[in-house]
Amino acid sequence: MDSLLIKGGTPLHGDVTVSGAKNAVLPIMAATLLTGEECVIRRVPKLSDVTFMAEILKSLGAEVKIADGTLTVRAAKLNGVGDYDLIRKMRGSICILGPLLARLHKAKVSLPGGCVIGSRPVDLHLKGIKALGAKVTIDSGYILAKAPKLIGADLFLGGRAGPTVLGTANVMMAATLAEGVTIIESAACEPEVMDVANFLNAMGAKISGIGSPTITITGVKELHGAEHDVIPDRIEAATFAIAAAATDGEVTIHGARTDHMHAVLDKLREAGVKVERKGPSLVVSRGRSLKPVDITTLPYSGFPTDCQAQMMALMMLTNGISIITERVFESRFMHVSEMARLGADIAIEGPSAIVKGGAPLSGAAVMASDLRASAALVIAGMVARGQTLVKRIYHLDRGYENIDDKLRGLGAKIERVQET
């Protein structure tokens, strides 16, 4: 198992290019199951989650090829059973449920796995496909869904923590081949959901209201093949922006969609970080001094939960008290105990983390608990005095394409080593 060995104290300088969005490409890959024709997806990041999803598509009978960031899928013949050993490895695999049900009128999909960041039930996914007329049961760890035909319906997908991103994508995909009109209220507005909808429309779907809380899908008889470029990963872009500020460097981030990053960039500016837009690129540096900020994670267009841990790393360096409140996932402070090993002073009070910043950090061996926590520990390690060993970085490989190579390209002293 790989770890990252980091020698701290080197500011990041240079240019980095953002990869395609992990949270968009996985449901887009699932959407290729809606047609027997060839689909070509470009800007596909080299991630372990993408590899897992490709294997899932193959196990369902699809022909899949990946080369130089381009994915080609032809799902001419399919079976409707999603393999447990593959699906259990990541939550995004639940997105095959809607396409299989729409295409084959039946599906057997294992309950998914993923990062341990709190309860993420699939009840809203099931609520949505039931509203379209599917009969759903759960047996021996599998979701069994059947429907002679899907019928459009009006449905509400809001949950306790707001709209469901994967649930919106899943139901939207199923509804493309349903009879009649489906209206999803309290739909997720994330750019990744928009990207899935745009791909579906390129396949011949009729979806309107994209990017709004009300999405309307008019069912069609069939979809055809299409080509699509995946949007840049806003979370990766934010991670590099935060890393530039934390290390007191200056990084030019190419391909960042600033229109997808308003909440993060606003908080960075509030924290004293210098953020400049230069054409299609973003230039980030620390500025004169960092200031503490209060952050509450919310569904888009609020501050993303996927950037909470990275911003905590930045606030650990900031003199004063910052309060970070998590409103999306209740167990997303598992990285706090590992930050403490580096010297951070953080207290948890209910859904909030009280960060007393400014204490010097020193390197230590730390354990990554999830994808974004891993990135935060890497940022902290690049600032800490001495060496930091970040273990279990398979989490990082799920969501960041060659992050160690990209950081080395910016001057970071970081290397991948084998755990003993």
- Catalytic residue positions? 115
Per the rule left: phi > 0, alpha: psi between -120 and 50, beta: everything else, 260 is alpha
What is the sign, positive or negative, of the torsion defined by CA atoms of 76, 78, 62, 41? Answer: positive
What is the distance between the alpha carbons of residues 130 and 143, in angstroms, rounded to a whole number? 12
What does the block give as tokens for 220?
Answer: 């069609």
φ, ψ (nearest 5 deg) of residue 146: -140, 145
